[in-house]
Structure 1
């Protein structure tokens, strides 16, 4: 049995076509476990299905974990609720996440009530179970366990939200995902000596080119590439995977715009000033084992 990670989306609120909204799937045997629900989540999952990962077929999208309520992490939630049901998912979607997720889910279902009624009572005759959503609002600790995986939630720091990271323990791997956060001692504690740490990051150099407002925002709620190198040095994962990458490809004072490739290399080098392990800057649909 080999656990796989499928990176469904590596993006941010910025509408970069090749980078869908943040979403990660952990695959154990024939089951998929989703973390965050960014733009295009079901279509990216279908692309992975066509690559041979059948546990990401729409019918098999049944369990999801939300890190926090920011729109770029939740805007794909209606897609995750409705599209697999339209394709005849037969059982309720199970969601785990912070306080507020029940309210958000309730309002999404209410917003699409006419659509639900049309599909359920019209010619489609849609089933009554696959549209249901079972939401569990979580606190720190063990939030889910089955025969394949144990999932623990831990608080991170992404003000003003109550935000969580997750630790997945499978038969062959320990995988930790940060969600959005500034450098977090709690994350370092939970990620210590894990196999794979998936962590958000912004460019230490690139943020200097942002306006004072946006520089203050990003440095107050996210983690720079230099900071991430320090985090990884202390947590000591076997692999560090970058996602939710903020490259800040904005003009410098001379009007030059650094390429994403060059910025990516620069960020990895900044991380490697302190962390000597393997660093993977993830792209959408990367498969990591």
Structure 2
């Protein structure tokens, strides 16, 4: 868990991001604020234990949707690993619009890139580049010797393109909801998974919000009670909560709400924890 947060600038939760590391190869899902520093914190350079998260190793990333709390770390994801030595283009897979976002970010940092290429301490001419790929339809979007990645559509308000992902590795199946209201697609792809990483909000906190915000969150996100129903259908070995809207709740409060209907294993995701 690189970041378990949401748009609220919680000091204890970095921006939404998860890293799946297979054979010392990292695959990053979403890039909220702080993504690269969180990865660095888990790497040996900064006394972490996951050598696959040396930032220059970050070469593959997947984006669920274009909300700012999932994307404001994108320039950092492009530039900092390059400055630290990445010598090949970043490969990014995301919804319609990721190509335009990539183009504009590179344009915004054009002067910085030129200075690093042609200044007194020239960098390599590959690591700043990005190959962005727009996800057009449900199904397999990426494979290599470590992993198979499948994308599936999820309902997130009026976003026309919001995706969840299923990662199949040699020994684990990990499914991420992205930001989503309850979805049978998540049930379908998470059935029998080893880990379901799912967003969540505190139901009692939802109940005391005004009508506008109750309507918004009901169409954009998933409550503890709704997540219990999803987990009961899918039966993953572990449910990990992220993108958490606590609304005054404690971790125990969240767990109590979920456990009223779901008896499987659940953890409240924390930044820099490993599952």
TM-score by length of 2: 0.96
How do residues 104-253 of structure 1 correspond to structure 2 at under 5 angstroms?
A: 104-138=101-135, 139-161=137-159, 162-249=161-248
Give the alignment's Cα RMSD to 1 decimal. Answer: 0.9
Q: Which runs of 4+ in 1 moved over 3 A?
A: none
Alignment partners' CA distance in 1, 2:218 and 2:26? 33
Q: Deviations over 1:203-257 (max 9, x none)?
A: 00011232332222112210000000000000100100000000112xxxxxxxx
Secondary structure of 1:205's aligned partner: helix
Q: Distance in 2 between matches of 1:207 and 1:27?
A: 34
- 2:56 is aligned with 1:62: no
Do 1:12 and 1:22's aligned partners in 2 also have CA atoms closer than 8 Å?
Answer: yes
1:103 aligns with 2:100: yes
Give the match for residue 272 of structure 1: 259
User: Does 2:15 align with 1:21?
Assistant: yes
Q: 2:152 touches 2:165 (CA, 8 Å); kept in 1?
A: yes
Tell me which residue corresponds to 1:253: none
* Residue of structure 2 equivalent to 1:9: 3
Q: Secondary structure at the match of 2:14?
A: coil
Q: Distance in 1 between matches of 2:223 and 2:146?
A: 34
CA contact 1:32–1:61 (8 Å) conserved in 2: yes
* Deviation (angstroms), 1:82: 0.7
- Counterparts of 1:284 and 1:209, CA distance in 2: 28
Query: Do the aligned partners of 1:210 and 1:248 also contact (CA within 8 Å) in 2?
Result: no
Matched, 1:35 2:29: yes
| Structure with the higher strand share, 1 or 2 | 1
Between 204-213 and 93-102, the greater mean CA deviation after superposition = 204-213
SS of the residue 1:193 aligns to: coil
How far apart, CA to CA, are the structure 1 residues paired with 2:210 and 2:263?
32
The runs of 5 or more residues in structure 2 that have no matched partner are none
Q: Distance in 2 between matches of 1:86 and 1:28?
A: 24
Alpha carbons 2:194, 2:238 under 8 Å: kept: yes
Alpha-carbon offset, residue 58 of structure 1: 1.0
| C-alpha separation in 2, matches of 1:21 and 1:142 | 26
SS in 2 for 1:189: helix
> Does the 8 A contact of 1:120 with 1:127 survive in 2?
yes
Matched residue of 1:157: which SS? coil
* Structure 2 contact 157–216 (Cα < 8 Å) conserved: no
Secondary structure class of the residue paired with 2:42? helix
